[in-house]
Amino acid sequence: MVTLQLEALGACYGKKLIVSDVSTTPLKAGEIVAVIGPNAAGKSTLFKRIAGLLKGPGEVSLTATTKSRKAIGYMPQDTSANAVLTVYESILLARKQGSAWSVEDTDLRFIDTVMQALNITPIAFRDLGALSGGQRQLVSIAQTLVREPDVMLMDEPTSALDLHRQIEVLSFMQAQARLKGMIVLIAIHDLNQALRFADTVLLIADGKMRACGHPLDVINPMMLRDVYGIDARIEKCSRQFDHVIVDGVAA
Amino acid sequence: MAAADIILTREAAVQGRGEYRARTRRKIMILVGLSLALCLSFAVDLAWGPARYGLDQVILALIDPDAVSAQVRTVIWDIRMPVAVMAIVVGAALSVAGAQMQTILANPLASPFTLGISAAASFGAALGIVTTVPIIPVAAGLIVPVNAFIMALAATLFIHFVSQVRGVSVQTVVLLGIALVFTFNALLAFVQYLASEQALSQVVFWTMGSLTKATWPKIWATLAVLLIALPLFARNAWALTAIRLGEDKAASFGVNVRYIRLETMLIISLLASVPVSFVGTIGFVGLVGPHIARMILGEDQRFFLPGSVLAGALLLSVTSIVSKSILPGVVFPIGIITALVGVPFFISLILSNVRRSW
Amino acid sequence: MTLDPDVLILTIGNKAAADEVNLEEMLSGIGVKIVYVDFREHIIDNTVPSLHILGQLFGKEERAQEVADFWQSKMDAIAKVIADNNPQRPDVFMYRAAGLVECCGTFGPDNFGLMVELAGGNNLGSDFLPGYTGSINPEQVIASNPDLIVVTGSDWTNSANAEGFVSVGPGTADGAEVSREVLASLVEAPAFTGSSAVAEGNVHAIWHQFYASPYQFVAIEAMAKWFHPDLFADVDPDATFKEFYDRFLPIDYQPGAWLSLEAGE
């Protein structure tokens, strides 16, 4: 059973502490955590710290099915790199690290399955350079998924997707989390999607954790005025999902 | 939750897997084709020269050296063979060095020549020729190559460590490389200014690069470096390919980017400087070779790495044939020809839609 | 300029550089004239005029005339023998500055290449090199199969990177045995495999510095004697050089400006 807890976690660039004091309740398998906060709040930095790419104080307590680095799958925000690789090759690459050159059929089968699930089979043999921003994000998600991590850190995975695709991808991730017992942390700006899919919301602002808890406890009119500087209400849509109705910029 | 059902219950259409396997087979065929072309070029290089021996003579000299006259034996084994083999090992070494430089610096214009490593080696060699002062104590006959090697190594390490200090930005490294080219060219000019006429002509000849300096010890040394470098690169094939997706992405795949970069840079410095210290500056092979490989094979290192080896070797082998065919009786310094081919390529690289893939 | 000269003597090779900066005009402003001499680029046309110029400069016109006459008489004598007999020209490979330059540095149609022609030989380098010096493919040397090999050498002990040079030149006669050994090892290079020159022992070394001197005629005599021993049996370059020293130079003649692989020739 996978569990994850951040304890007084901080992240440094060099000697400079960028993010500090992030603590969560113990996160459980199958949970979706939305990490929200204004631009430059420190969301990406926090993810890099959790993924082990940055150093800092505090602790990431992880109980995983494997001890290797593969336990945490990190999907960076930047998907702009243009190597002369096909989509298929770039996804295979994510699964096949290590020194062995041979590619097993089981690897390819799994890649085919993931690609089909994300509906990117039609672009499998396009060069990365020929992809749109949205397609790049889908490929990047596939790359993270084929590594079969216990914890997924997705840095704005849906920012370039159309609304339909956003809902599709996020519900897919939610289902995957539940089915495979993953913990999925998603940095996201769209608070409505956070309210719709997250079990827990973690709010970061100015490099500090402001709140962590049930979505409606974190996303409320007071917080929206304090952190985002907008006047807003929370209302339910016809399918009973909570939504942020924005009235305007706070006076 | 339809998507989740798919991933667990229904296997995806076979299309992707089959197509991938087909493409892999095609790439292997391309590598085989390149190897055959290289064999052919090598054969022509051995068979072709001002002493017009028949093919039967050449073949006989190769399989049974004692069965032919001393002249034929000498021409094939002592004159043509070292140059033909040197062309292949030097082309391969420079091309692989360029390929990995382009990979880890994420820059299509990177190569030992464009980043000042060749210039550093030239300066070291000129210093050896003109002042006969060794940088480290070595036998007199080794002063020139050893000096060249040490300067090239120093330049590579300088690029690497300074860029590390500055936080390794791609632009920093390339600008540093350009600065090194200027610096070492200025130092070279300074040394040339101090040189005697006799030494000067030697320096000029050396900076042009020529395979006629090939000897078996030089070939073995270059080959040894190549045979050390290739398995190390091969072991890191997936990691090096991943680095092309960006530092964060590679790190997210569990690649220790910093370590791989340092290791790769060190190997590159060996690959780039050893040939330069033996045969002088042969520019653009390290630029053109990898680009040809990338165009026909893509950047999966499992194909890109051998592809670069073969493309560079083939390129220099063909150039070797051209260099002795332009003027009868004269061997053109091969560096002149690679530059004449390389410069237009370099310019087209800058202007063309190659931007797409970077 | 601190020496306050009246005349600046330059070799003709410097003229282009001097013209570029208008040196002539510059120096005439301070009363210095430039004089160009040449014993290297056009050895036939320029040697005698250069001698005359130097004679005029130093007020020794008569003596210059004597040197020029001597030069002309020796050159004419060789030319006449060659013209009269029109002998078969042996193929000659000039191995330029062996030990200093990698094989196979040689001369094109000028300078030593021209001297070979004047001495009645066929300079191989002239067929392949447009310029005055250059390198040719070692394999070409094999293919051309020279009848004679002439190595240029000098005492390059103090020269950087010089290794395996043939030390010939004034005053080197004592080391002839060593030089012969060096010469023998030089022609073991791949380029000379199976050549008739090596087979017949027609391998010689000559003082490199003849390339820029007014006594090329001595070199030409020596080479003519190697190329056509019968025609030039009565020519004695050693005596010629000695005579030149005795008559025109303030120092004593020291033999050793050339040698052959086979001693006692």
Tens digits of per-residue pLDDT, C12-42? 888 888 888 888 888 888 888 888 888 888 8
Token pair for residue B100?
A: 């990995």
Q: Are A116 and B13 inside 8 Å of each other by CB?
A: yes
Is residue A210 scored above 90 in pLDDT? Answer: yes
Give CA separation, B152 vs B12, B158, B210, in Å.
52, 10, 18
CA distance C146 to C154: 23
Q: Is the dihedral of CA C245, C250, C254, C259 positive or negative?
A: negative
When scoring A46, A85, A166, A179 by the number of chain B Cβ atoms within 10 A, the one with the most, hence best to mutate, is A85
Q: Closest by alpha carbon to A72, among A160, A168, A6, A139?
A: A6
> In chain B, which residues have their Cβ closer than 8 Å to the Cβ of C193?
70-71, 73-75, 78
Q: CA of A226 to nearest chain B CA: how many angstroms apart? A: 32
| Residue position matching structure tokens 């190697």 | C226
Handedness of CA A125, A127, A130, A135 (dihedral sign): positive
Place of tokens 């000379």: C192
Q: Reduced to 3 states, what is the DSSP secondary structure of residue A113?
A: helix
Residue B166's pLDDT is 54
Q: Please judge whether A93 and B234 are an interchain contact, meaning their C-beta atoms are less than 8 angstroms apart.
A: no
**B94-98, B245-249, C98-102, C115-119: least confident range:** C98-102
pLDDT of res. B6: 44
pLDDT in tens, A73-108: 999 998 888 899 999 999 999 999 888 899 999 999
Place of tokens 């990979």: B103
Residues paired with residue A235 on neighbouring β-strands, in sequence order: A243
Residue B358 has pLDDT above 80, yes or no: no
- One domain, residues A57 and A96: no
Regarding whether A84 and A139 lie in a shared domain, the answer is yes
Asked whether residue A36 is assigned to any structural domain, the reply reads yes
Contact B212 C135 (CB under 8 A): yes
Locate all alpha helices (DSSP H) within B64-169, ordered by sequence: 70-73, 81-105, 117-131, 143-165
pLDDT score at B129: 78
Q: Is the pLDDT of residue A43 over 90?
A: yes
Asked if the Cβ–Cβ distance from B79 to C139 is below 8 Å, we say: yes
3-state secondary structure of C231: coil
A48 to chain B, minimum CA–CA distance in Å?
Answer: 9
Q: What radius of gyration, in Å, describes the C-alpha atoms of chain B?
A: 22
Q: How many CB atoms lie within 10 A of CB A236?
A: 10
Long-range Cβ contacts of B18-24 (<8 Å, 24+ apart): B19/A88, B19/A124, B19/A125, B20/A88, B20/A89, B20/A92, B20/A108, B21/A108, B23/A86, B23/A125, B24/A103
Mean pLDDT of B257-284: 87
How close is the nearest chain C Cα to the Cα of B294, in Å? Answer: 35
Amino acid residing at A235: E
Q: Which of B245, B308, B349 to mutate to test the interface with A (most CBs of A within 10 A)?
A: B245
- Asked whether the beta carbons of A196 and A170 are under 8 A apart, the reply is yes
Query: Whole-angstrom Cα distance, residue A11 to residue A21?
Result: 9
Instruction: Say yes or no: A168 and A121 in one domain.
Output: no
A45 and A154 fall within a common domain: yes
From A74, A118, A171, residue closest to B252, measured CB to CB: A74
State residue B162's pLDDT score.
Answer: 74
- pLDDT, one tens digit per residue, over B19-45 is 999 999 999 999 999 999 999 999 999
**Residue A244 domain-assigned (yes or no):** no
Tell me what the pLDDT averaged over chain A comes to.
Answer: 93
A129/B356 CB distance under 8 A: yes
- Residue A50 lies inside a defined structural domain of this protein: yes
Average pLDDT across chain C, whole number: 89
Residues paired with residue C126 on neighbouring β-strands, in sequence order? none
Mean pLDDT of B222-232: 95
Selected residue of C103, C139, C140, C145 to mutate for chain B interface (largest B Cβ count, 10 A): C139
CATH at A58: 3.40.50.300
Decide: A and B in contact? Rule: 3+ Cβ pairs under 8 Å.
yes
d(CA B127, CA B104): 31
Q: Do B254 and A97 touch (CB under 8 A)?
A: yes
pLDDT at B8: 43
pLDDT digits (tens, 9 = 90+) for C34-43: 888 888 888 8
- The chains in contact with chain B, meaning 3 or more Cβ pairs closer than 8 Å, are A, C
Instruction: From C85, C96, C176, select the one nearest C133 (Cα to Cα).
Output: C96
B165 touches chain A (CB under 8 A): no
Residue B245 has pLDDT above 60, yes or no: yes
Q: Report chain B's mean pLDDT, rounded to a whole number.
A: 85
In angstroms, the CA C209 to CA B118 distance is 35
Tell me how far apart the alpha carbons of residues A23 and A60 are, in angstroms, rounded to a whole number.
Answer: 9
pLDDT of residue B278: 84
Q: What is the arithmetic mean of pLDDT over A218-240?
A: 94
Contacts of C249 by beta carbon, 8 Å cutoff, 6+ apart:
none
Number of DSSP helices (H) and strands (E) in chain A, helices first? 8, 13
For residues A127-143, give the mean pLDDT: 94
Spatial separation of the C-alpha atoms in residues C95 and C152, rounded to whole Å? 6
Q: What is the pLDDT of residues A180-190, one digit of tens each?
A: 999 999 999 99
Asked if B248 lies within 8 A of A96 by C-beta distance, the reply is: no
**Which sequence spans correspond to the domains of chain B?**
23-350
Strand-strand pairing, A230-236 and A242-249: antiparallel
Tell me the DSSP string of A42-80.
Answer: SHHHHHHHHHTSSB-SSEEEEE-S--SGGGEEEE-S---
Asked if pLDDT for residue B164 goes beyond 80, the answer is no
- Binned at pLDDT 50, 70 and 90, residue A67 comes out as low
A97 DSSP assignment? -
Answer for the pair C142, C195: CB distance below 8 angstroms, yes or no.
Answer: yes
The CATH topology of domain C7-84 is Rossmann fold (3.40.50)
The CA radius of gyration of chain C, in Å to the nearest whole number, is 20
What is the widest separation between alpha-carbon atoms in chain A?
62
Measured CA distances, B211 to B85, B223, B274, B345 (Å):
10, 15, 13, 22
Residue B284's pLDDT band (cuts 50, 70, 90): confident
Overall number of domains in chain A: 2
pLDDT of residue B352: 64
Of the candidates B136, B140, B141, B119, the one whose C-alpha atom is nearest the C-alpha of residue B191 is B119
Give the SS3 label for residue B333: coil
Q: Best of B48, B73, B76, B79 to disrupt the C interface by mutation (most C CBs within 10 Å)?
A: B79
With contact defined as beta carbons under 8 Å apart, do A209 and A227 qualify?
no
Give contacts of B 18-37 with A, CB under 8 A.
Answer: 19-21, 23-24
pLDDT tens for each residue of B7-21: 444 555 557 899 999
Measured between beta carbons, the chain B residues lying within 8 angstroms of A85 are 241, 244-245, 298-300
Question: CA-to-CA distance for A47 and B251, rounded, in angstroms?
Answer: 12
Instruction: Report pLDDT digits (tens) over B289-345.
Output: 999 999 999 999 999 999 999 999 999 999 999 998 988 888 888 888 898 888 888
Range with the poorest average pLDDT among A175-189, B2-16, C195-209: B2-16
Contact between C137 and B49 using a beta-carbon 8 Å cutoff: yes
Q: Per-residue pLDDT for A157 more than 90?
A: yes
Asked if residue B217 has pLDDT above 70, the reply is yes
Q: Which residues of chain C does CATH 3.40.50.1980 include? A: 7-84, 91-260
Residues A23-46, mean pLDDT to the nearest whole number: 94
Q: How far is CA C33 from the centre of its chain?
A: 30
Q: Cβ C191–B202 below 8 Å, yes or no?
A: no
User: Residue B266 above 70 pLDDT?
Assistant: yes
- Name chain C contacts of B331, Cβ cutoff 8 Å: 135-137
What was the pLDDT predicted at C44?
83
Residue A20 lies in a domain: yes
Q: Which domain holds residue A15?
A: 1-65+150-219
Residues A128 and A176 in one domain: no
Task: Based on the fold, state whether residues A61 and A23 are members of the same structural domain.
Answer: yes
Which tokens hold the place of A107?
A: 């690897």
Please give the C-alpha separations between residue A194 and each of A137, B54, C72, in angstroms, as whole numbers: 18, 80, 105
Output the CA angle B280-B284-B290, nearest 5 degrees.
Answer: 125
Judge whether residue B354 has pLDDT over 80.
no
pLDDT of the residue at B5: 43
The strand pairing partners of C106, in sequence order, are: C134
| Percent of chain A predicted with pLDDT > 90 | 87
Radius of gyration of chain A (CA): 18
Q: Does position B281 have pLDDT exceeding 90, yes or no?
A: no
Residue A56 or C159, more confident: A56
* pLDDT value at residue A56: 93
pLDDT at position B269: 83
Report whether A244 contacts A196 (CB < 8 A): no
Q: What is the pLDDT of residue A182?
A: 94
Whether the pLDDT of residue B4 is over 50: the answer is no
Residue of A109, A112, A170, A197 for testing the chain B interface, max B β-carbons within 10 Å: A112
Distance CA C179, CA B89 (A): 37
| In the block, residue with structure tokens 């299509």 | B108
Cα–Cα distance, C27 to A186 (Å, whole number): 82
Per-residue model confidence (pLDDT) at position A201 = 96
Residue B351 binned pLDDT confidence (cut-offs 50, 70, 90) = confident
The reply to whether the predicted model has a pTM over 0.90 is no
Long-range Cβ contact pairs of B14-19 (< 8 A, separation 24 or more): B14/A112, B15/A112, B15/A121, B15/A124, B16/A88, B16/A108, B16/A111, B16/A112, B16/A115, B16/A121, B16/A124, B17/A105, B17/A108, B17/A109, B17/A111, B17/A112, B19/A88, B19/A124, B19/A125
- Rounded Cα distance between B232 and B241, Å, is 14
Where does B210-342 show beta strands of DSSP type E? Answer: none
Residue at A88 is within a domain:
yes
Task: Judge whether A171 lies within some domain.
Answer: yes
- CA of B3 to nearest chain A CA: how many angstroms apart? 5
CA C12 to chain centre: 17
| Residue C68 pLDDT > 70 | yes
Nearest-angstrom CA–CA distance, B232 and B228: 7
Do C and B share at least 3 CB pairs under 8 Å? yes
Alpha-carbon distance C206 to nearest alpha carbon in chain B (angstroms): 18
The answer on pLDDT for C70 being more than 90 is yes
- Answer whether B15 sits within 8 Å of A121, measured CB to CB: yes
CATH number of the structural domain B23-350:
1.10.3470.10
Say yes or no to pLDDT of A227 above 80: yes
The CATH T-level fold of domain C91-260 is Rossmann fold (3.40.50)
Indicate the SS3 state at residue C207. strand
Q: Which amino acid is at B33?
A: G
Give the up-direction half-sphere exposure of residue A130: CA atoms within 13 A in the CB hemisphere: 9
The answer to whether C261 and C201 are in contact (CB under 8 A) is yes
Decide: residue C157, CB within 10 A, 0-12 exposed, 13-18 middle, 19+ buried.
exposed
